[in-house]
Amino acid sequence: MSGVLIRPPQTADAADVARLVTQLGYASDAVQVKARLKHLEGHPDIQCRVAERDGQVVGMIGLMVFPAFHRDGMHGYVTALVVDEKLRGEGVGATLLVAAEAWFKERGAKRVNLTTALYREEAHGFYEKRGYTFTGKRYTKIL
């Protein structure tokens, strides 16, 4: 999508990222997001990217690469992807995903995994349109 800049987040983006993460269903505030970004500093295999349009952060994606025990090589994992609810369907998410896939390839990943809740039917179609396949269920346990 033209007019969208994909870049690492800055501390000044914390309120915008918090707003986006809250739209995704994970209530967050700027203080929490600043702490999360600070915690990720120095982790070359865990990154975040934001999409900026007209000086405003309008999307974000969380990325992680890791070696696995069940397959050789590095694996990519999208930990979160969200676009401002007012701009969905305009190509911001696709632009973020393309940038993420390029980052994964640079890190040697041959496969990308992600999860999405069962009720996010629009997200399922978004991912399938971009070559992602449904491969199973996710189970979660709070510790």
Name residue 116's amino acid: T
The highest-level CATH class for domain 4-129 is alpha beta
pLDDT at 2: 64
30 contacts: CB under 8 Å, gap ≥ 6? 14, 15, 18
The pLDDT assigned to 140 comes to 82
Secondary structure class of 38 (helix, strand, coil):
helix
pLDDT on residue 137: 84
CA 29 to chain centre: 18
- Give the Å distances, CA to CA, from 78 to 54, 57, 98, 108: 25, 19, 12, 15
So what's the pLDDT on residue 37? Answer: 93
Sketch the domain layout of the chain as residue ranges.
Answer: 4-129
| Helices of type H across 41-139 | 92-106, 121-129
Per-residue pLDDT of the chain (143 residues; tens, 9 = 90+): 569 999 999 999 999 999 999 999 999 999 999 999 999 988 999 999 999 999 999 999 999 999 988 889 999 999 999 999 999 999 999 999 999 999 999 999 999 999 988 888 888 888 899 999 998 888 888 89
Q: If residue 14 lies in a helix (H) or strand (E), which one and from where to where?
A: helix 14-23
Q: What integer pLDDT is reported at residue 113 of this predicted model?
A: 93
Q: What token pair was written down for 18?
A: 């918090």
pLDDT of amino acid 76 = 96
Q: What does the chain come to in residues?
A: 143
Residues 6+ away with beta carbon under 8 Å from 141: none
- For residue 97, count CB atoms less than 10 angstroms from its CB and return exposed for 0-12, middle for 13-18, buried for 19 or more: buried
pTM: 0.90
Q: Give the chain's end-to-end CA distance (angstroms, integer).
A: 40
